[in-house]
Amino acid sequence: MRILICNDDGIEAPGLARLVNAAGGLSDDVWVVAPDGKRTAAGSSLTIARPLTMRRVKPNWYSCSGTPADCVVSAMTWLFADARKPDLLLAGVNDGRNVAEDLAYSGTLGIAREATFWGVPAIGFSRVKNPEFTDRDDPWLGALIASLWQSRAGWATEGHWLSVNLPTALPAEIRQPRIGRDKIGRTAEIVESDGDRTVITVPRGRAHASEPGDENEAIDTGYVSINRLNWFGETRLDERFVGGILD
């Protein structure tokens, strides 16, 4: 079983090492391609027609100068160009939860989305800030990955992937919550202003808004949240509307 692991926090991120450790119990054929620095909120963006630098850090580990999704593309088109493609892609473990609108612009979930374009089952893992790590975490996470792999026929259909949010403490029970609303990027701060030129920054941080049944409530009450996502993004228009557009 060949496993590819990518992230958006960078090649040296602790969450990446923990995910590699957890996956090591499933296979000895584990590969890592991760950005050479932090790439938060990069979504599914790709670097096209511009050079990417791939650097071998250690056996089976490579850093990439591009985006998180570039890591998947570089693996598929270069690293495994003449070799067997991965059977499973794991993304993360992200340093912080990915909920609500994050599903659209998270680099971690952009990785998982890109993997589905290549027909590879994918799971994005995120965890709350400052979790309570114990020696049980990595084996438990490995068992969860193994269980999800064994049940992939139920979720890994074309264009679908999983988003898993881990709470403060593990092990934990699992819930499938409703996707809520808790937007990052809600405010702007003026750094400097000079006539027609203004420099602003959008600070990190979210409102931590929560409603009954959403992901934040599940995570905050100690559950692992799992949501099945897809990239199709289509809602059919009413045929009467389509027929009347040019009438």
pLDDT above 70 (res 246): no
Annotated binding-site members for a divalent metal cation: 8-9, 94
Q: Between 204 and 89, whose confidence is greater? A: 89
Mean pLDDT within 204-230? 91
Contact at 8 Å (CB) between 215 and 97? Answer: yes
Q: Specify the length of the chain in residues.
A: 247
How much of the chain, in percent, has pLDDT values that exceed 90?
A: 80
Q: Which amino acid is at 197?
A: R
Annotated binding-site members: 8-9, 94
Contact at 8 Å (CB) between 78 and 54? Answer: yes
Contact at 8 Å (CB) between 131 and 100? Answer: no
pLDDT value at residue 40:
83
What's 27's domain CATH number? 3.40.1210.10
Q: Which amino acid is at 246?
A: L
* Spatial separation of the C-alpha atoms in residues 104 and 122, rounded to whole Å: 16
Helix axis angle for 14-23 and 137-150, nearest 10°, is: 60
Integer-rounded Cα radius of gyration of the chain: 19
When divided into structural domains, the chain yields a total of: 1
> 40-67 pLDDT, tens per residue?
888 889 999 999 999 999 999 999 999 9
Tell me which residue range forms the domain holding 175: 2-243
pLDDT value at residue 235:
74
The per-residue DSSP string of 160-173 comes to EEEEEEE-SSSS--
pTM score: 0.91
Q: Checking DSSP bridges between strand 54-58 and strand 61-64, what pairing results, if any?
A: antiparallel
Helix, strand, coil distribution of the chain in percent, nearest 5: 25, 25, 45
> 135-192 pLDDT, tens per residue?
999 999 999 999 999 999 999 999 999 999 999 999 999 999 999 998 777 889 999 9
